[in-house]
């Protein structure tokens, strides 16, 4: 079945380019466009599209206001924000993602129409595929919600060997408590982080290092937004930062972040311009590998919602050295790519819903 899409942008050129790019994707049909937020809401109400690409910055009703109206009216459509690659665009996009937008793309800043068409098509393809998969999972979960009778029957069924090998919803208490936490996350990350990190106390006993897949400027906006919501302090990491308890450090977009041991064994962050890994910069594997090299067995690792498999190789190294690995479960993920691949690789100790991630982190660290 085709995904029905609505393209919203106040610039005629971008409405055309985004529409043409979506039209090149398999099983996607652009059913309409809208030049502003008011018309967009009218067309969402009448056409009921599956997916809306929504310009962040528009006169009258901007993208944030349209997104809020979609949520308030209970309109069932996914929203992909389309943002300028600016600090203001980053701030607005982070707000949209925190409010439940599925994902975002940035507008090309140069090039001819054909080049821009190709870049938007390439950016939208994995997002559309992930959105389609999320809808399938939601449909399966809603269709097969167990009755009390089914639940009782399931409890009586013998457990298969595959089920016995799956990570438990709550693993045994870790034998060794961690000195730091490392966390990898991508699609759906800002909303997930906004929901869990404000529950940490100001005196959280270890530092937390986060790789969130995002371009430059956007990670700065994410860190500022989280810092305003959290009791712990949150910042975009800078080169030579010494990671401190009660602080969260977010890898800068467009850079790589690694941790190395300082003269007294302190966790020193280095920000580099090393190449992308898994087409990601920052890369989860890059950070996790540095932790395995410099702080073996000292970190608890968390892998959360996101496309692809970034983080699996690093988790193999961390797990081999005794690190405890926590993964977000499929039902609470926007995309179960990164945690799903880690589970398949057999490097996860415990799989829990989003609202239990912090409990598992606190069980895993010293203090």
Query: Are residues 146 and 154 in contact, defined by beta-carbon separation less than 8 angstroms?
Result: yes
Average pLDDT, the chain: 92
**pLDDT of 273 over the 60 cut:** yes
Separation CA 174–CA 9 (nearest Å): 51
The pLDDT of 349-353, averaged and rounded, is 97
Percent of the chain at pLDDT above 90?
84
**pLDDT of 18 over the 80 cut:** yes
CA torsion angle for 351, 353, 355, 360 (degrees, to 10)? -10
Task: Give 300's strand partners.
Answer: 181
Confidence tier at 140 by pLDDT (50, 70, 90): confident
The pLDDT of 235-261, averaged and rounded, is 98
Report the pLDDT value the prediction gives residue 221, as an integer from 0 to 100.
97
pLDDT digits (tens, 9 = 90+) for 54-73: 999 998 899 999 999 999 99
Confidence tier at 239 by pLDDT (50, 70, 90): very high
Report the pLDDT value the prediction gives residue 76, as an integer from 0 to 100.
93
**pLDDT of 164 over the 70 cut:** no
Q: State the helix-helix crossing angle for 337-344 and 312-320, rounded to 10 degrees.
A: 40
**pLDDT of 279 over the 60 cut:** yes
Confidence tier at 325 by pLDDT (50, 70, 90): very high
**pLDDT of 166 over the 90 cut:** no
**pLDDT of 149 over the 60 cut:** no
- Tell which wins on pLDDT, 141 or 75: 75
Query: Are residues 289 and 274 in contact, defined by beta-carbon separation less than 8 angstroms?
Result: no
For each of the domains in the chain, give its residue range(s) and CATH number, in order of start. Answer: 3-140 (3.40.50.2300), 166-364 (3.40.50.180)
Block residue for tokens 């459509």: 77
CA torsion angle for 16, 132, 212, 314 (degrees, to 10)? -130
pLDDT digits (tens, 9 = 90+) for 180-211: 999 999 999 999 999 999 999 999 999 999 99
**pLDDT of 146 over the 90 cut:** no
Active-site positions? 186, 213, 310
**pLDDT of 159 over the 70 cut:** no
**pLDDT of 165 over the 50 cut:** no
Q: Is pTM beyond 0.85 here? A: yes
Report the pLDDT value the prediction gives residue 170, as an integer from 0 to 100.
54
């Amino acid at each position: 079945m085709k995904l029905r899409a609505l393209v919203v942008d106040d610039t005629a050129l971008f409405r055309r380019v985004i529409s043409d790019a979506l039209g090149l994707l398999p099983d996607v049909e652009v059913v309409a466009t809208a030049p502003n937020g008011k018309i967009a809401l009218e067309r969402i109400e009448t056409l009921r599209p599956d997916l809306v690409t929504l310009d962040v910055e528009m006169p009258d009703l901007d993208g944030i206001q349209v997104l809020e109206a979609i949520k308030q009216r209970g309109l069932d459509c996914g929203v992909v924000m389309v943002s300028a690659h600016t600090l203001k665009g980053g701030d607005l996009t982070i707000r949209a993602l925190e409010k439940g937008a599925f994902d975002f793309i940035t507008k090309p800043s140069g090039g001819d129409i054909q080049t821009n068409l190709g870049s938007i098509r390439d950016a939208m393809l994995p997002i559309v595929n992930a959105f389609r998969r999320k809808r399938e999972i939601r449909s399966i979960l809603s269709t097969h919600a167990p009755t009390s009778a089914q639940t009782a029957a399931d409890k009586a069924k013998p457990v298969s060997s595959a089920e016995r090998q799956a990570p438990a919803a709550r693993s045994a208490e870790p034998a060794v408590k961690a000195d730091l936490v490392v966390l990898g996350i991508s699609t759906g990350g800002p909303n997930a982080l906004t929901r869990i990190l404000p529950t940490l106390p100001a005196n959280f006993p270890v530092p937390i290092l986060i790789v969130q897949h995002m371009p430059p400027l956007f990670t700065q906006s994410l860190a500022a937004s989280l810092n305003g919501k959290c009791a712990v302090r949150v910042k975009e990491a800078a080169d030579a930062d010494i990671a401190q308890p009660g602080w969260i450090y977010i890898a800068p977009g467009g850079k790589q972040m690694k941790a190395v041991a300082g003269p007294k064994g302190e966790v020193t962050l280095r920000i580099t311009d090393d190449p992308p890994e898994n087409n990601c910069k920052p890369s989860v594997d890059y950070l996790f590998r540095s932790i395995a090299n410099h702080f073996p067995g000292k970190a608890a690792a968390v892998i959360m919602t996101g496309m692809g498999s970034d983080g699996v190789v690093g988790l193999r190294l961390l797990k081999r050295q005794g690190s405890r690995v926590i993964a977000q479960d499929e039902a609470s993920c926007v995309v179960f790519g990164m945690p799903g691949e880690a589970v398949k690789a057999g490097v996860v100790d415990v799989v829990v819903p989003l609202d239990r991630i912090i409990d598992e982190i606190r069980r895993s660290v010293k203090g």
